[in-house]
Structure 1
Amino acid sequence: MTEFSGPLSGIKVLDLTTVFMGPSATQMLGDLGADVIKVEAPGGDSTRTLGPNGEYGLGPLFLGLNRNKRSIVIDLKSAAGSELLLELTKSADVLATNIRPAAMARLGLGYARLAELNPQLIYASMVGFSQKGPYGPKAAYDDMMQAATGLAAVMGQQAEGEPRYMPLAIADRSVGLYAFGVIAAALYARTRTGKGQCVDIPMFETMVPYVLGDHLYGHTFVPSQGEFGYPRLMAKNRRPYKTKDGYVCCLIYTDRQWKIFLEAVGKGDLLKTDPRFADIRNRTAHIDELYQLVSEELEQRTTREWLGLLPENEIPIFPMHTLESLLEDEHLAATGFFTEVEHPIVGRIRETAVPSEWSGTVPLNRHPAAALGEHTVDVLREAGLGEQRINQLVADNVVFQRPVVLQPPQAA
């Protein structure tokens, strides 16, 4: 058995999740030291084939969501495959899945069956919708959640245009983060009760508070006392500000900050003559107009000039990065946030650090994402299966070892 470091060292996770949401949650468990065994279908996670090096089953999205995991391939649709997973479950602490509950039940892998074999198992089911409502059986994806929760509508409304999606898998990643916390909490609860449990993590019900937490606003009250939407976040002029030579984010919020800013741009008299600046309540009501004023002022100087002037006066400001310039950020370089590691198949890859910093049980990036079925035989041996049975499972196409993968051509 491989020895791991990190606060979750000693925890074994069977990871039946695919694509974004589930793998992001289980990668966090792996980052913090859990032994995450990614159980894949014979074709592998679909993200393996997307983007550069997808032909080797190691595309960039897969690499970014599946480090610190081992890969085992089992055909769960076969009777022998589902029985094999039941055996592996006996020694697992967590089973994480985003396969729909009805499909898991058809495979004989529902919670009731697994709990009989392992009463201490945490069964984390990441679903689209609560199983208690009429949407329960529906599949769900990030785009669907952005639309269903009103986020796409809010995006369009703020920009005074058509509804649109954020160019991030924001629902998948947000719910994945929540699922990670839920699984960690369930593991803690087990230390007190001695028992495992099933936890459902629905995307829809998780994302609705994200959106309404900011934008329920006047409808928080019954009857309602105003409109939907926090005005500051909905202001069309809430965006990076253009300078003479670039863009910056500048957030002027408190009474003191507005006073300093207006005096710095020679408009300190507005504090006395313009009621829009009187207090935070009035500023919020007129925030779009105030952001327009800030925008006009910031265009008058270069980014460097503003970065020199405003921080000295305790006004938060930061230059806008592009994706390209973000990789060169001096702070991230100083903290060692980006590392380059050698992947045995696709060569040198860039990884990000585990973002938390620990004084004791330090988590590590132990290994990059695994090739499909790279650890099948190792995991089965650890589970106590003999060589004869393993060979038979391979011969019967119930499990698959890592296939022969050609080394991609290296850059000259």
Structure 2
Amino acid sequence: MSQLKVLDFSTLLPGPYATMILADMGAAVIRVESPTRPDLLRVTPPMFDGRSYAHLTINRNKRSLALNLKSAQAQGIIHKLIQSYDVLIEQFRPGVMARLGLDYETLKAINPKLIYCSITGYGQTGPYKDKAGHDINYLALSGLASYSGKTDTGPVLSGTQVADLAGGSHHAVMAILAAVIQRQQEGEGSYVDISMLDCAFAMNGMSGAAALATGQDPQLGSEILNGGIFYDYYPTSDGQYLSVGGLEPQFAQRFFTLLEHPEWLMRCTAPAGQQGLLKQDLANLFASHSLQHWLDLFAGTDVCVEPVLSVHQAAQHPQLKHRNMVNQAIAEDGQFIPQIRSPLCPDHVSASAKIGRCLGQDSIDILKQAGIEDGQISSLLANGDLVQHQD
């Protein structure tokens, strides 16, 4: 991965998270950013010295080139850069890159080995291709939201952006790396069209397979894994929560025996949607004692019961600490900022992680390394089409 060179034209979350993964694995990533329309992730609180913690994490290990892509000079610079780059990632609506003279066909003529990845809500084709959308919309249209929740709540919002990250970011990285392998074998680049709706729909997995085959859609709170059986979250007397997941008979038997209700084991074999009374009994029992009481009871046993932790608590969990999942990234002034590290790269790579750069912090260095003459750089700066280190 250390030889892979990536130009990233994306903003906010799906594209930048994808290039964070690539950068963490060693790819050389340059973010090409607008000097006049800053990435909203840069101003998402809370902040560190006026800079967003989210941005500092998601854009770590990348360089920043602030360039006005509407300028003919700037487009020419991208054409020059693309000659030596392997991957381009963009997240504009269909047609925008073509209007800028930076579409796949144009750049492919310059670099036939280019892998060009477009991440959009609905893909490059179809009646929704030009429509705006967000994570919540893709989850809604994909069918995932229709059975994510309980009958008394309706669909619920996830704590993270499932369609953006698991759909857009992760599928983009997988497709790009597959294209890299294909290029090694065939010698040519390719175009990758990532639709977050497509990817979210594909994640229906087991429930989708059953629904398409039987015509019976999964329902809120009625399936094996969405609340239809005792597999669920339960509040304790101190307002904390336990996750109970012992589906397999050997786990369930130990679980009910520890609760001193072995007779409940037979009740957990009832079909999904018919375990309401068992779940109420469990809820009443868990609500009678504190979280620590239940953790002590289940300590050292294999019953698939764990506490619901906050992010900060998760970072302190001995398993995640053992796996070194929190890394201290390096700021320009030598300060260290804790960040969730990539689970895909070795510790020694994470140990040298650098926080996301200021807007245009690397602009002049990047252009000089690309062989752009000083006079052209001065002209771009004078016209406001190039920005160097603007907070």
Q: What code does the residue aligned with 1:53 have? A: M
Say which of 213, 232, 238 aligns to 2:205: 213
**Counterpart mapping for 1:87-102 below 5 A:** 87-102=80-95
Q: Deviations over 1:237-278 (max 9, x none)?
A: 75422234432222221112222222333332345xx5x445
Q: Deviations over 1:311-337 (max 9, x none)?
A: 544212212212343343333334432
Q: Equivalents in 1 of 2:320, 2:302: separation in Å?
A: 23
3-state SS of paired residue (1:234): coil
> Which residue of structure 2 lines up, in the alignment, with residue 366 of structure 1?
353
Number of residue-to-residue matches in the alignment: 385
> Structure 2 stretches of 5 or more lacking a match?
none
**Counterpart mapping for 1:7-406 below 5 A:** 8-43=1-36, 44-53=38-47, 56=50, 58-156=51-149, 158-174=150-166, 175-210=168-203, 212-216=204-208, 218-222=210-214, 224=215, 226-229=216-219, 231-235=223-227, 239-245=232-238, 246-271=240-265, 274=266, 276-278=267-269, 282-284=270-272, 286-344=274-332, 348-356=336-344, 358=346, 365-403=352-390, 405=391
8 Å Cα contact 2:231/2:246 also seen in 1: no
Q: Deviations over 1:100-119 (max 9, x none)?
A: 23111111111111000000
3-state SS of paired residue (1:240): strand
8 Å Cα contact 2:118/2:193 also seen in 1: yes
Deviation at 1:78, TM superposition (A): 1.3
> Structure 1 stretches of 5 or more lacking a match?
1-7, 406-412
Q: Deviations over 1:17-54 (max 9, x none)?
A: 10111000011000000000000000331211221338
Q: Equivalents in 1 of 2:263, 2:155: separation in Å?
A: 40
3-state SS of paired residue (2:57): helix
Calculate the TM-score normalised by the size of structure 1.
0.85
Q: Equivalents in 2 of 1:132, 1:28: separation in Å?
A: 27
8 Å Cα contact 1:31/1:354 also seen in 2: yes
Q: Equivalents in 2 of 1:331, 1:32: separation in Å?
A: 22
8 Å Cα contact 2:10/2:92 also seen in 1: yes
Q: Equivalents in 1 of 2:234, 2:153: separation in Å?
A: 20
Q: Deviations over 1:114-146 (max 9, x none)?
A: 000000000001122133311122233223223
Q: What code does the residue aligned with 2:263 have? A: D
Q: Which moved more, 1:44-53 or 1:102-111?
A: 44-53
Q: What code does the residue aligned with 2:77 have? A: L
Q: Equivalents in 1 of 2:252, 2:96: separation in Å?
A: 57
8 Å Cα contact 1:32/1:363 also seen in 2: no
Q: What code does the residue aligned with 1:228 have? A: P
Q: Deviations over 1:319-367 (max 9, x none)?
A: 22123433433333344322334423795522122213549x9565431
8 Å Cα contact 2:330/2:354 also seen in 1: no
Calculate the TM-score normalised by the size of structure 2.
0.89
Structure 1 residues 154 and 49: alpha-carbon distance in aligned structure 2, compared to 1, 3 A threshold: same
Q: Equivalents in 2 of 1:291, 1:365: separation in Å?
A: 48
Q: Equivalents in 2 of 1:313, 1:59: separation in Å?
A: 42
Q: Equivalents in 1 of 2:193, 2:325: separation in Å?
A: 33
Structure 1 residues 109 and 362: alpha-carbon distance in aligned structure 2, compared to 1, 3 A threshold: same
Q: Which moved more, 1:65-74 or 1:131-140?
A: 131-140
Q: Which moved more, 1:119-128 or 1:316-325?
A: 316-325
Deviation at 1:65, TM superposition (A): 1.2
8 Å Cα contact 2:18/2:169 also seen in 1: yes
Structure 1 residues 53 and 255: alpha-carbon distance in aligned structure 2, compared to 1, 3 A threshold: closer
Q: What code does the residue aligned with 2:59 have? A: N
3-state SS of paired residue (1:221): helix
> Which residue of structure 2 lines up, in the alignment, with residue 5 of structure 1?
none
8 Å Cα contact 1:67/1:365 also seen in 2: no
Structure 1 residues 87 and 214: alpha-carbon distance in aligned structure 2, compared to 1, 3 A threshold: same
3-state SS of paired residue (1:146): helix
Q: Which moved more, 1:45-54 or 1:345-354?
A: 345-354
8 Å Cα contact 2:315/2:325 also seen in 1: no
Q: Equivalents in 2 of 1:402, 1:308: separation in Å?
A: 53
